[in-house]
Structure 1
């Protein structure tokens, strides 16, 4: 068992195999450690997010090291049967890799009974184990940029079904018409950890003998009082997104937290107008947004500073500033210019937007396609006018940091790990010695970076899927890193060389295209050493690498 640093609030426990991982996961769920907030099981690791004010990483490792990992988790009594059309693009390649005929591949796949070990990568994506070992094949050398929803695939010891179209490197052997993820169901995912799964060939069988039944929740749109305050969106060059502080407690279904990329700006916007700090705001990328308000209102704009123009019903135009309450009257048209620094602005309305939560949050997750629809020109948004505990407006808010501009260098502190030892010494040095340019292919999922020198790996073997954290610097085969932001996949199969410190995540979210990032490691990479119970009275000394 190894304990590896991920960030200031997250560690990765590496175990011998999947059985030990599931045993530890079950143990920590049955007998929780105070201060542990979330866990993400994977092939042979358990990623644990904790509260450092409650316990140190060393203390948490000490608690975990005493757990019994001999218990084996029995599959549940639930059986899901999935119809498959075995016509996948890689079916012939899988046959060649295994030395079987295509018919034998199909037969062995349909004769196997699988168990959902864990969920990750995407909402509703279950990692299935227990199939015929002959069907264990490597990922594709070159991942596809788009795999269709319903694709049935193999990779290593796992089988799985892509619940929605997404990039991926698994070997596709077929497709299913079954909808694996549907927010109209409760729960939305057909596959849950512990469920048994069998596949059947649609050419030979037309209907399953058994199926998990899911209840459809009765959902009602939020009630809107007559004469409620509304905003009619006139322009949105890039769709605006509803965001709050995030969606928590859904990792068991493969759903990450998402949420506002610059949480300090979202909180400030709400405080300016007197809302509770975590209420939904509109996250607006690169300005250009315009709307007309139907009645008297108070708004605030924070984050990236956009010029704010307000034209009243009589045609008069005034300007307003960010981080201050702005009074509006019926018929006022608000138009945002484009920021010269930063990327994302946050629009709050006093009373907060009336937006229906999805899985407990109003955040829009662009990768998982979970949450309210994007806001575009023609959208009509409603603002709550009662039932919310409002306070007085705030006149004392300001940005938490200086927003960067294109062409500037931004320094981000990094915690090395959990897979720094997969890279050469030169590769680790390159991470911090070289500036990394932000490319136009960046979005809420992650910032794609380009450097003159690629990061060199010491270990070129295939990494089993493991949990990833917001801020993770994942390095694919080409050696050009991707800095994960809030909509990143819950699990990933490329090594993470380090993770941006939590206190710099809001800053990372505001870095524009063509700016450059300097990664500054603030810790030396080393395994976390467990502290025994008798030693918990003293806290171990941490090694910190200092930089000028």
Structure 2
């Protein structure tokens, strides 16, 4: 891999009528079609006949993003992608499952939709909406949120000029060519026309999403008032609430540790939940994956064991049993308070014993941002979609850890603890992030690309696990208007109309609506997770090996 002063635009391979291929990062391709129906059909084909090495295919408005296991398989897929344009769908993809949603049409924006659509009456809007057999083209925005297409063209109304801060769960809405039903409470700017009590997202089902890409949907009007269940109407309602200040005695009968203070934010994290992007669920997991992996090695755990991710120190916990721990990541001082008094001699990046009754306190880090604590045996918390991670964007997994949370540790892993390791250097006041051209770098042209690479961008204070918001002179863009929603990956650098780049981290959304100018290398995302507000960052272009 070599640095390049002029990486050009992302590789774009003409590959048959209506289908183009754009590289996304190191091991993904964006297959660009001529429309939503074509993208949905392509996703159905890839779901039934995956390409060699294909890990995941994520449909969007006019594209399908495909992730691969290796760089070689990515290159081979790019070379043969043109053959997909002419392939017919398998027979089973021609008869999708139909889902019926009983809907009460009493939405706050019905009269506005009547005006915008020109249909003349509320009844005419209802008849147009219920007459269509909608198709779930793709998911995104929130778990179980399906973008439905195929409606009456007269229902193509613009979003509200001012989005709502909270749209009720079950709301049925319109925006552009799409209709949708909100699985949970969330912000939103769509026009609300009704509501359904259907359980759109339920983790107790084998397949939590009621509507998945490729399914057909019909809205059935009902007169009676639909009452939403407590599960669907809850503010979160999509995860496992075990990290709380009033733990269930049945679940926490014999705690191994108790959290006394948390600082800014403490969450439970493991390696995440890949493979669910097609229903609107991102990977999540530790923001600095190498730090968590190192902590688990030191504690003798399996790589997927769950631990704590601590933002900017401030954690204090008490051991109720003898525990073996390892602390990695940001350089924060460790103090153990026991019967003999405080002992500040504990060192990170090596396993140590915390005796029952002793307290461990994590100071404010002098370098880095996120610290990881692994407990030998791992945190024992029920998994949600195969992971114990807290996804702060999707609202999945356990709630953020609060003072009073009782922690239960899993069984002895049966392996030896690790030896002390030398961690990689933490970023100081300046850092470089290597990147490859993004799929929409052509939106910015040579001048915009040069500006992106030549400037020092400052990490903003509004950054979080979803992404780093950078501050600096606005980046010029050659095009105006919205980009049709398409899948994004952690590492994608998206540029909204403000011209201030956003680098997506572990809790990145599944889809985004702004152009991606570049994709930071996976190897540099752990460094990015440790960048503190105020740090100056330079994006350095690199060329991937052929």
Residue of structure 1 in register with 2:441 after alignment: 420
Residue of structure 1 in register with 2:458 after alignment: 437
Residue of structure 2 in register with 1:358 after alignment: 384
Is the Cα contact below 8 Å between 2:196 and 2:226 reproduced in 1?
Answer: no
| Cα displacement (A) at 1:415 | 1.2
SS at match of 1:477: coil
Is the Cα contact below 8 Å between 2:146 and 2:181 reproduced in 1?
Answer: yes
Residue of structure 1 in register with 2:60 after alignment: 42
Residue of structure 2 in register with 1:98 after alignment: 117
Q: Which moved more, 1:73-82 or 1:432-441?
A: 73-82
For the residues of structure 1 that align with 2:170 and 2:252, how far apart are their CA atoms? 43
Which of the numbers 410, 416, 419 marks the counterpart of 1:395?
A: 419
Which residues of 2 match residues 117-516 of structure 1 at below 5 A? 117-140=137-160, 143-202=163-222, 204-205=223-224, 230-386=256-412, 388=413, 390-400=414-424, 402-405=425-428, 408-452=429-473, 454-516=474-536
Is the Cα contact below 8 Å between 1:228 and 1:385 reproduced in 2?
Answer: no
SS at match of 1:22: helix
Q: Structure 1, unaligned stretches of length 5 or more?
A: 209-218, 525-540, 543-548
Counterparts in 2 of 1:372 and 1:111: CA distance versus 1, 3 Å: same
Q: CA offsets, 1:461-513, max 9 Å, x none?
A: 32211111111111122222211111111011111111111111111111111
Counterparts in 2 of 1:82 and 1:339: CA distance versus 1, 3 Å: farther
For the residues of structure 2 that align with 1:148 and 1:514, how far apart are their CA atoms? 37
SS at match of 2:384: coil
Give the CA RMSD over aligned residues: 2.7
Is the Cα contact below 8 Å between 2:117 and 2:157 reproduced in 1?
Answer: yes
Q: Which moved more, 1:416-425 or 1:74-83?
A: 74-83
Counterparts in 2 of 1:42 and 1:192: CA distance versus 1, 3 Å: same
Residue of structure 2 in register with 1:62 after alignment: 79
Q: Does 1:78 align with 2:79?
A: no
Residue of structure 1 in register with 2:11 after alignment: none
Is the Cα contact below 8 Å between 2:255 and 2:406 reproduced in 1?
Answer: no
For the residues of structure 1 that align with 2:173 and 2:393, how far apart are their CA atoms? 20
TM-score normalised by L of structure 1: 0.86
For the residues of structure 1 that align with 2:457 and 2:513, how far apart are their CA atoms? 22
For the residues of structure 1 that align with 2:296 and 2:193, how far apart are their CA atoms? 49
For the residues of structure 2 that align with 1:172 and 1:516, how far apart are their CA atoms? 43
Q: Does 1:14 align with 2:14?
A: no
TM-score normalised by L of structure 2: 0.86
Q: CA offsets, 1:320-368, max 9 Å, x none?
A: 1110111111101111101021111110011211111111111111111
Q: Which moved more, 1:143-152 or 1:420-429?
A: 143-152
Q: CA offsets, 1:22-42, max 9 Å, x none?
A: 332232232322211111011
Residue of structure 1 in register with 2:236 after alignment: none
Counterparts in 2 of 1:512 and 1:175: CA distance versus 1, 3 Å: farther
Q: CA offsets, 1:198-224, max 9 Å, x none?
A: 22445x35579xxxxxxxxxx9x9999
SS at match of 2:294: helix
Counterparts in 2 of 1:433 and 1:153: CA distance versus 1, 3 Å: farther
Counterparts in 2 of 1:80 and 1:226: CA distance versus 1, 3 Å: closer
Is the Cα contact below 8 Å between 2:156 and 2:178 reproduced in 1?
Answer: yes
| Cα displacement (A) at 1:299 | 0.6
Is the Cα contact below 8 Å between 1:436 and 1:517 reproduced in 2?
Answer: yes
Counterparts in 2 of 1:141 and 1:426: CA distance versus 1, 3 Å: farther
Which of the numbers 520, 538, 544 marks the counterpart of 2:540?
A: 520
SS at match of 1:383: coil
| Cα displacement (A) at 1:93 | 4.1
Counterparts in 2 of 1:456 and 1:175: CA distance versus 1, 3 Å: farther
For the residues of structure 2 that align with 1:101 and 1:448, how far apart are their CA atoms? 44
For the residues of structure 2 that align with 1:416 and 1:126, how far apart are their CA atoms? 29
For the residues of structure 2 that align with 1:207 and 1:340, how far apart are their CA atoms? 54
Is the Cα contact below 8 Å between 1:86 and 1:201 reproduced in 2?
Answer: no
Counterparts in 2 of 1:75 and 1:477: CA distance versus 1, 3 Å: farther
Is the Cα contact below 8 Å between 2:270 and 2:307 reproduced in 1?
Answer: yes
Q: CA offsets, 1:210-256, max 9 Å, x none?
A: xxxxxxxxx9x999999966111110123311111110222232111
Is the Cα contact below 8 Å between 2:46 and 2:57 reproduced in 1?
Answer: no
Is the Cα contact below 8 Å between 2:197 and 2:226 reproduced in 1?
Answer: no
SS at match of 1:240: strand
For the residues of structure 2 that align with 1:169 and 1:87, how far apart are their CA atoms? 13
Q: Does 1:33 align with 2:51?
A: yes
For the residues of structure 2 that align with 1:56 and 1:192, how far apart are their CA atoms? 26
